[in-house]
Amino acid sequence: MKTMNTTDKITRLEQLQSVTVHAKEWFDRANGNSYFSCRVILNDGLPDAETIKLPFQYGYGNSSEYAAMQAIAARFPRTKWDNRPLWQLRDRKIPFSYFKQEQCTRKECEKFAS
């Protein structure tokens, strides 16, 4: 996983009330590869909302879900996480939503996480 940009407003996992993930995906027809970029919004719509931007990177299918969960796990390193993507938030009673926009242009994806 590449580096991520964030500003730390939430200090403990107990303060996390919701997770919203927006992903954009681009398919490189010339080489047959998929790429994505993401924004992971913690506590969306609340005063302590925090955004983690995942840069443009290779990945297809649900790679963006796994990358988003890795970013959340990195944000809360003292918490034990498993290898499941975002579904494990449900076990912790943290509501989450995931939106992926496919067929974006490369430029849209690169700009989305900058």
Secondary structure (3-state) at 67: helix
Tell me, yes or no, whether 82 lies in a domain: yes
Is the separation of the CB atoms in 21 and 42 below 8 Å?
no
Q: Stretch 98-111: mean pLDDT, rounded?
A: 95
CA dist 105 → 23, 24, 34, 92, 111 (Å)? 13, 9, 11, 35, 10
Identify whether the C-beta of residue 95 lies closer than 8 Å to the C-beta of residue 18.
Answer: yes
Domain membership flag for residue 81: yes
Give residue 1's pLDDT.
Answer: 44
In-domain check, residue 8: no
pTM: 0.87
Tell me the C-alpha distance between 53 and 71, whole Å: 9
Measure the CA–CA gap between 8 and 82, rounded to whole angstroms: 23
Residue 37 binned pLDDT confidence (cut-offs 50, 70, 90): very high
Q: How confident is the model over 6-32, as pLDDT tens digits?
A: 556 788 889 999 999 999 999 999 999
Condensed to tens digits (0 to 9), the pLDDT of residues 39-96 reads 999 999 999 999 999 999 999 999 999 999 999 999 999 889 888 888 889 889 999 9
Tokens 């879900």 belong to 65
Asked whether residue 27 is assigned to any structural domain, the reply reads yes
User: What is the number of domains present in the chain?
Assistant: 1
Which range marks the domain in which residue 98 is found? 13-112
3 has a pLDDT exceeding 60: no
What integer pLDDT is reported at residue 2 of this predicted model?
Answer: 45
